[in-house]
Structure 1
Amino acid sequence: MRSLRIGRLWLATSFRAAPVLMAISTVLVAARAVTAPAQTYGISLLVEGLSGDGSNTIAVGVAIIIGGLAVSFIADVVGWPVQQTAEERMAGRVHADLLDVTTGIPGLTHHERPDVADRLELVRERAWRMGVGSEVLLWLFGTVTNTVTVLTLLGSVHPLLLLLPLLGTSRIWSAYKGSMREEKAYEDSLPHERLADRLIEVAKDPRTALELRVFGLGKVLIERISALQAERFKLQVAAAKWSGKVDGAVRLGFALVYAAAIVWVIARARNGQASAGDVVLVLLLAPQVDQMTGGIAQNIYWVGEVVRSFSRYDWLRQYAKDNSWQASTTPAPAKLTSGIELQNVGFAYPGSESPVLSDVTLKIPAGSAVALVGENGAGKTTLVKLLARMYDPTTGQILIDGEALSEVDPEAWRSRMSAGFQDFVKFEFLAREVVGIGDLGRLDDEDAVRAAVVRGDAESVIAGLPNGLDNQLGKKFEGGAELSGGQWQRLALARAFMRERPLLLLLDEPTAALDPEAEHRLFEQYAEAARIAGSETGGITVLVSHRFSTVRMADLIVVLHEGRIEEVGSHEELVVAGGRYAELFELQARAYR
């Protein structure tokens, strides 16, 4: 069943990209495939006519030969450009489809599981093999047409000669087994390749250059990369040696059998059991059969590669379908009335048995500002990801105004939220785009972009750029400006402010690269924006920060410890309670004093 689905996917992808060009190519490939054996038959008729066995066959033989030359000329002149254009269109379609499928997966699980990551890497790296799928498909069609024609001609001489192409399938078997072993070796070496590629990126990244030189890590990286690549080559060379030995033995056996067949036909002709044309036909078909089986043997690798690539593509499509949260169709609310409630929420990352969150029960009132505090690893960022529905809880549920978040359309929910993160992305676009993509619907609204820049305290960053909002960012581009970490973070904060009235604003250490005074000033703006959003839409602001001078302004402070909620309350309530929050607050206050 799955094999049929993969075949349909291959066929549909090939013809969907360029249906007319593929139809023309199919006709031309079939014509070209028949030409060589047909011309061979024409030569045999010509020889029979010249030898006196059938003088009336001379004209037919010449006509077939000339016709074959004409067909070959047209197929070569017209066919290759058409086929190459169809192949390019298919390659473009494949890459567009891959991007559409992968970006359409709403969750992050596929980024966290090594087994899924390896398969995704294979899909992406081998995508170009699907791009040549149209060419391989046409080759398969041409090979089938050519094989049928050759078998028909051989059978017309003697049925026993039909065994020769069948014996040639042994070469196809050896090529297939060899390609499978080489593919297995490649897949086994993929983790080594991914790690080596990552180390190469670290070695050449300007951001890591300083520490690499200070700690003398260059030699260590080179040694590790060399060791990983040596292990990769060891696996692949062993598979290649095995393939070469098996294929060589099979080819030698096939050649000996075919030589014996030619001798047998010549002996039959001397005994009057075959004509001169039959001898010529078999002699000329011999290299064609060898070429045919050899071509299949050589191209079986590409057939296998395309099939495996479409198999992985089919797996990706099925994975995306299974993880698309298609059942989540409830619209996101226009405003919050009661707020967000977490009921016995627990979560463990894919592939891990240790829960990051356990039995988290919390009510966040609509219109409130909430701060999450706790030591590193307490589960703060994981809780933020669950609220953004990057994952669904392993146990328990999250309710939005009484509606399960797992039932809400994830795209609709995210369109009603905004976020700023510590690990923000440095989008190397125009400065206005770096900010404006926070609300794609208003990307070209300069007033909205400038207002977001003000709220994100990024006016000084824009003022320092030669072309202001129209300045390209990133040294990789001509005229591009490089920014400091703090400047990049201010632009990321401005981006988070593009959506003016989000139902949920997530701020996960969004000011880590800024000084405490700047952070305090920015959070005052957050608090003001939260109050406005709270009064108009019931919007909730969730802040993660280690600076207690900032989080004390939150309406509600949630203290997490080892994945559980340990304390909940306002700053004043928690200080009076004298628990973990009070202890951490006093330690930080003492350090500042």
Structure 2
Amino acid sequence: MSKTTRILWLWLSTSFRAAPWLMTISAALVAARAITAPTQTYGVSRLVDGIASDRSSTIALGIAIIVGGLAVSFVADGLGWPLQDTAQERMAGRVHADLLDVTTGIPGLSQHERPDVADRLELVRERAWRMGVGAEVLLWAFATVTNTATVLTLLGSVHPLLLVLPLLGGARIWSAYLSSTRQQKAWEESLPQERLVDRLIEAAKDPRTGLELRVFGLGKVLLDRIFALQTERFERRVAAARWGGKVDGSVRLVFGLAYAAAIVWVISRARHGQASAGDVVLVLLLAPQVDQMTGGIAQNVYWVGEVVRSFSRYDWLREYANQNSWRSSATPVPERLTSGIELRNVGFSYPGSDSAVLSDISLTVPAGAAVALVGENGAGKTTLVKLLARMYDPTTGRILVDGVDLATIQPDEWRSQLSAGFQDFVKFELTAREVVGIGDVARASDEVAVRTAIVRGDAESVIAGLPNGLDSQLGKKFTDGVELSGGQWQRLALARAFMRERPLLLLLDEPTAALDPEAEHRLYEQYARAAKVAAAETGGITVLVSHRFSTVRMADLIVVMHNGRVEEYGTHTDLLAAGGRYAELFELQARAYR
């Protein structure tokens, strides 16, 4: 199937999947409405011919066609618009549901790291509503085809030469297409500026950035930058619109002159007895209808083009999701770890980048072990955590779980056996119960599980301070929402990480950065106890990233990373005795505390 055919089929099938009966009935009604005006025009011509020749049967036929057209129009208008509105709403709902299903179905994170993919995803999301009007545009296109066929039939009945005139309307359609294409290109070229404007506006109004904006006097800088970007976008799009207006105006002038000549010609034929009075009336009344028809097509070429382009992007997204679905990863996740996790010559570069973040990492973590990753910022610790969670696959090398390549394990199953706490945690603006419970969706409604996780995450004081306890709405965006401090949000994030009690892999990437050392120590004791239970029951492994050496010393294995490589590893005692980078960093931090 060609790409064009696939896109058109996607448009058609999505419209009818959303509301099959509504679309079918609406299609019949719009077709009936589309032929009403030209058919009634034909009825008027029959009526004029009947009066001119004094034939009662022709007069009756003309009246019947006119009255029948009024009845059809009344019924089609009365039923059609509500049905079309409902079909459009169903279509919009289907499109947004499908987009969410496709985007959330991509198991990795590579689409967030590539600017070219990010731009196209932004276009898909931003223009999704245009796919939502796809049902209406599809019905309009069907009505246009029906109307055009009827008008051509009537004009051809007067004289075949008149069929050339509606074809001249194709020039208006062509000019509208060129104009639409030029404007679309200008829009897409200005998309990077538009995304930057959105980010700058968000930064200008975000309370979290308000303090620094005012301290450093950045308000005017931001406004000037936003204004410059907006001006650049505006000038590019106005230039495209101006060009389209000139082309369309020229084509319309030629189109109008041709129709004027056609009307004069038909009148001349009638004066010489080569056409009837009804034919003259028919052409006179059809002329503005053809002009409106071609004008309507020209105006709606933009919308047809937008819908087709939107479905083209949607088709691209579906293909991208299919190619990055990791469907070949079908190996079931083990119920417990027996040997552990092994990294063999693992290297990694982020998509679109040639520089390696990780290089030639070989490491074995035994089942049940607690391993700490230490090193300076940019050493590759967080990237390694992402690879273990299989947010990416290694660029080189392999990660083995009990001897099985992690790249072959079903990603959703693997993640269902993970739990994690991150420094850059998400502030889910839900109820406190939901903020914690979503750490294990299957047990989110389990009151005991939620409260146990809150205790283990040392978040009891946070819940106690909320007006409605676990049922309190969090976040200032809501009328009765409660805003929390950074430390309180982090405690709830830690409690969320405790919802899964027996994970095969617990990932802790500086999850206590916003807490004081005493609270951090207390929490890591909780994690240590949880890790021991998981190790005994499932062979679970705990991976800890931290800059506080008082915390990492409790780990069974400490891995020191530098410039994307493992520089040394061992126990706290062994590494101190070795006198390497770990000993140096430990001594620097101890000296600072002293």
Q: Secondary structure at the match of 2:499?
A: coil
Match of 2:48 in 1: 47
Gap runs ≥5 in structure 1 = none
Matched to 1:258, the amino acid is Y
Contact 1:475–1:481 at 8 Å: present in 2 too? yes
- Which stretch shifts more, 516-525 or 561-570? 516-525
Taking the TM superposition and a 5 Å limit, the aligned residue runs for 1:415-434 are 415-434=416-435
The CA deviation at 1:466 is 2.1
Match of 1:382 in 2: 383
Match of 2:323 in 1: 322
Q: Distance in 2 between matches of 1:84 and 1:470?
A: 38
Contact 1:416–1:504 at 8 Å: present in 2 too? yes
Match of 1:503 in 2: 504
The CA deviation at 1:54 is 4.7
Q: Which runs of 4+ in 1 moved over 3 A?
A: none
Q: Distance in 1 between matches of 2:491 and 2:123?
A: 37
- 2:157 paired with 1:156: yes
Match of 1:464 in 2: 465
Q: Distance in 2 between matches of 1:182 and 1:205?
A: 32
Matched to 1:42, the amino acid is G
Match of 1:362 in 2: 363
Per-residue CA distance 1:200-257 (angstroms, 9 max, x = gap) = 0000011111111111111000001001101100110000000000000000010001
Per-residue CA distance 1:294-334 (angstroms, 9 max, x = gap) = 01000000000000000011111111111111111111110
Matched to 1:83, the amino acid is Q
Per-residue CA distance 1:378-418 (angstroms, 9 max, x = gap) = 00000000000000001111111011101001100000010
The CA deviation at 1:485 is 0.6
Q: Distance in 2 between matches of 1:53 and 1:319?
A: 70
Contact 1:370–1:555 at 8 Å: present in 2 too? yes
Match of 1:231 in 2: 232
Q: Secondary structure at the match of 1:397?
A: strand
Contact 1:45–1:61 at 8 Å: present in 2 too? yes
Match of 1:487 in 2: 488
Q: Secondary structure at the match of 1:475?
A: coil
Taking the TM superposition and a 5 Å limit, the aligned residue runs for 1:213-252 are 213-252=214-253
Q: Distance in 2 between matches of 1:254 and 1:465?
A: 71
Q: Secondary structure at the match of 1:37?
A: helix
The CA deviation at 1:151 is 0.5
Contact 1:185–1:235 at 8 Å: present in 2 too? yes
Match of 2:372 in 1: 371
Match of 2:334 in 1: 333
Q: Secondary structure at the match of 1:51?
A: helix
Distance 1:360 1:479, change over 3 A: same
Matched to 2:515, the amino acid is L
Match of 1:310 in 2: 311
Q: Secondary structure at the match of 1:565?
A: strand
Q: Distance in 2 between matches of 1:268 and 1:468?
A: 88
The CA deviation at 1:53 is 7.0
- Which stretch shifts more, 438-447 or 380-389? 438-447
Q: Distance in 2 between matches of 1:433 and 1:34?
A: 56
The CA deviation at 1:100 is 1.0
Distance 1:53 1:265, change over 3 A: farther
Gap runs ≥5 in structure 2 = none
Match of 2:394 in 1: 393
Percent identical: 79
Matched to 1:107, the amino acid is G
Q: Distance in 2 between matches of 1:442 and 1:116?
A: 35
Match of 2:276 in 1: 275
Match of 2:25 in 1: 24
Match of 2:588 in 1: 587
Match of 1:79 in 2: 80
Contact 1:501–1:533 at 8 Å: present in 2 too? yes
Q: Secondary structure at the match of 1:9?
A: helix
Q: Distance in 2 between matches of 1:280 and 1:421?
A: 77
Match of 1:147 in 2: 148
Taking the TM superposition and a 5 Å limit, the aligned residue runs for 1:4-23 are 4-23=5-24
Q: Distance in 2 between matches of 1:518 and 1:428?
A: 24
Matched to 2:231, the amino acid is A
Q: Distance in 2 between matches of 1:289 and 1:12?
A: 31
Q: Distance in 1 between matches of 2:303 and 2:147?
A: 18
Q: Secondary structure at the match of 1:371?
A: strand
Q: Secondary structure at the match of 1:107?
A: coil
Matched to 1:257, the amino acid is A
The CA deviation at 1:478 is 2.8
Q: Distance in 2 between matches of 1:98 and 1:532?
A: 41
Contact 1:48–1:55 at 8 Å: present in 2 too? no
Taking the TM superposition and a 5 Å limit, the aligned residue runs for 1:430-469 are 430-469=431-470
- 2:288 paired with 1:287: yes
Q: Distance in 1 between matches of 2:380 and 2:483?
A: 34
Matched to 2:144, the amino acid is T
Matched to 1:399, the amino acid is L
Q: Distance in 1 between matches of 2:255 and 2:433?
A: 68
Matched to 1:532, the amino acid is V
Match of 2:414 in 1: 413
Contact 1:203–1:221 at 8 Å: present in 2 too? yes
Q: Secondary structure at the match of 2:327?
A: coil
Match of 1:552 in 2: 553
Matched to 1:156, the amino acid is S
Taking the TM superposition and a 5 Å limit, the aligned residue runs for 1:99-248 are 99-248=100-249
Q: Secondary structure at the match of 2:542?
A: strand
Match of 1:97 in 2: 98
With normalisation by structure 1, the TM-score equals 0.99
Q: Distance in 1 between matches of 2:476 and 2:277?
A: 76
Q: Distance in 1 between matches of 2:556 and 2:165?
A: 85
The CA deviation at 1:475 is 2.0
Q: Distance in 2 between matches of 1:62 and 1:521?
A: 91
Match of 2:351 in 1: 350
Taking the TM superposition and a 5 Å limit, the aligned residue runs for 1:249-268 are 249-268=250-269
CA RMSD of aligned residues (A): 0.8
Q: Distance in 1 between matches of 2:85 and 2:430?
A: 34
Matched to 2:407, the amino acid is S
Matched to 1:400, the amino acid is V
Matched to 2:185, the amino acid is K
